[in-house]
Amino acid sequence: MSAAAWSALVIGPGGAASPSHGLHESIASASSGWALMVAAMMGPLVAAPLRHVYARSFARRRARAVVLFGSGYLAIWMAAGVMLLALAAAVRLVAPQSTLMLALGTLVALIWECSPLKQRCLNRCHARSELAAFGPAADADAICFGLTHGVWCAGSCWALMLLPLLVSRGHVAAMAAVALWLLAERLDRPMPPRWRVRGVGKAARLVIAQSADFSVRGATWPKSRLP
């Protein structure tokens, strides 16, 4: 689903949520563009909770539980989209120049990234709810888990998700950069909520380790081919 959304965004003339559309587009167009943006960027982040729902549901209920979870999660992000698109429009009114509005958005994102509330939201994104096994309770738990996870996910990601909305050129490239950052920071373990400069330590360590392993294998490969 995420790959299909990225393909639609790359092939199309830019997401309907990009700044070039603004208030001149219909509500349906803006909603579909935002839904594509969420599917593309949030798809990898939601894989772990989806796996939790899948693993803790009986086989005959798995598809239903996954759909209910996804519906609750998407509902939260669609509501967040209304606020983020309105905020992006307000920023464009205050700072019409693209460089200035991007600088303002980046400053807001940096402050939020370092804040204790960001860490609290990020910690909650790692939580997994108990799910009932049968009947209406199972359906209610699946959709409530989707809603709850969506709230904490939107709380964690909103400031970075705002940045692509402030970019008039290179909208999809900005989305890709933000999506990689969000995925990398989600790999880190929960930490005590406090002000700190938050990076992508675990992701960076994994990349370095894999690069070193690849280099070692590349250096020894010709010797292993000798008779």
Q: Would you list the domain boundaries of the chain?
A: 2-199
Count CB-CB contacts under 10 A for residue 208.
10
Percent of the chain whose predicted confidence (pLDDT) is above 90 = 67
Mean pLDDT computed over 67-88: 96
On the question of pLDDT at 227 being above 90, the answer is: no
Alpha-carbon distances, residue 204 vs 45, 181, 185, 207 (angstroms): 17, 11, 10, 5
pLDDT in tens, 20-38: 444 445 677 888 889 999 9
- Is 168 strand, coil or helix? coil
d(CA 59, CA 215): 43
Burial classification of residue 17, based on how many CB atoms lie within 10 Å of its CB (0-12 exposed, 13-18 middle, 19 or more buried): buried
On the question of pLDDT at 155 being above 80, the answer is: yes
Task: Tell me what pLDDT residue 47 has.
Answer: 96
| pLDDT mean across residues, the chain | 86
Is 0.75 topped by the overall pTM? yes
pLDDT in tens, 98-152: 788 899 999 999 999 999 999 999 999 999 999 999 999 999 999 999 999 999 9
pLDDT in tens, 183-199: 999 999 999 999 998 77
pLDDT in tens, 80-98: 999 999 999 898 888 888 7
Residues 6+ apart with CB under 8 A from 189: 126, 202
Task: Tell me what pLDDT residue 41 has.
Answer: 96
In one letter, which amino acid is 91?
A: V
